[in-house]
Amino acid sequence: MPAGGGRAPGRLGPAVAAAAAVLAAWQLLALSGAAAPGLLPSPAQTLAALADSAGSGTLATDLGASLARAGQGFALGAVVGGALGFATGYLPLLSAAVTPVVSFLRPIPAIALVPLATAWFGIGETAKRLLIAYAVLLAVWLYVHDGVSRVPVTHLRAARSLGAPLHRRFTEVLLPAAAPALLAALRYGASVALLALVAAELGGAQSGLAYRLQVDGQFLRVDRMFAGLIVLGLLGVAVDLVLAGIGRRFVHREAS
């Protein structure tokens, strides 16, 4: 535990230095006149736009709407994708039937399904959540299926020969062995959920971070667009840090 805690401060310095370098380069580029006036806001102008959005309540409304859509879509996709990944990774015959179907669907991005989902489910929340769930399901399935299929068969056979029932083989052998892959799947699935969220909200939403980006783009409010992109990026970082923290504790507990 002390070694793990000591790594965080060591990583904080380079991260802060990199962020400062990016801000300095951004400021210099904004002052250079390389872009047309108004098309490249400075960090200060972007921060002012972000503060104005937060003060008016628009940011809270859009953030809440996006979090609800992404969270519900992520939960549905992660549960179905994780369960399917465990099943196909454990059962070769099921894998032979399901893998070609999933391999066919994986190259089809969520944004390509926006018109179809809108035609089937309308412009309400159902279509948006299902689009996000679709993208997350495919991402989570891939990681979980690969992790479960790599669990040594000898471990499972040994547990079965010792008389362990199926549920104990799952909880005491399969799940601990596949835990790193499962946690990687959830982290990747969370990032995919945010990508799919943008596609979903461009398909007829009335609130949300991506919807606001579209509206601001129509009025060339580039400072607000930059602010929205920063919020999306920070949201992704925050979700990943939370899942990574939970994952470290979970894997450590399983290994101990």
d(CA 254, CA 166): 19
Report which of residues 85 and 254 the model is more confident about.
85
pLDDT in tens, 23-53: 898 888 888 877 777 788 889 999 999 999 9
Query: Residue 95: its pLDDT value, please?
Result: 93
Query: Residue 256: its pLDDT value, please?
Result: 45
Sign of the alpha-carbon torsion through 145, 148, 151, 157: negative
d(CA 239, CA 248): 14
Confidence class for position 7, pLDDT limits 50, 70, 90:
low
pLDDT in tens, 192-214: 999 999 888 887 778 899 999 98
pLDDT at 2 over 60: no
Average pLDDT over residues 138-164: 83
Tokens of 124: 């309400």
For residues 41 and 222, the answer to whether their CB atoms sit within 8 Å is yes
Tokens of 135: 């993208």
**Nearest Cα to 46, choosing from 179, 221, 202, 187?**
221
Tokens of 152: 């040594």
d(CA 253, CA 256): 5
Class for the domain spanning 42-255: mainly alpha
Please, what is the end-to-end C-alpha distance for the chain in angstroms?
12
d(CA 87, CA 141): 10
Number of residues that make up the chain? 256
For residues 200 and 132, the answer to whether their CB atoms sit within 8 Å is yes
**Nearest Cα to 194, choosing from 59, 83, 73?**
73
> Using alpha carbons only, what angle is made at residue 168 by residues 162 and 171, rounded to the nearest 5 degrees?
135
Task: State the pTM of this model.
Answer: 0.83
List the chain domain ranges: 42-255
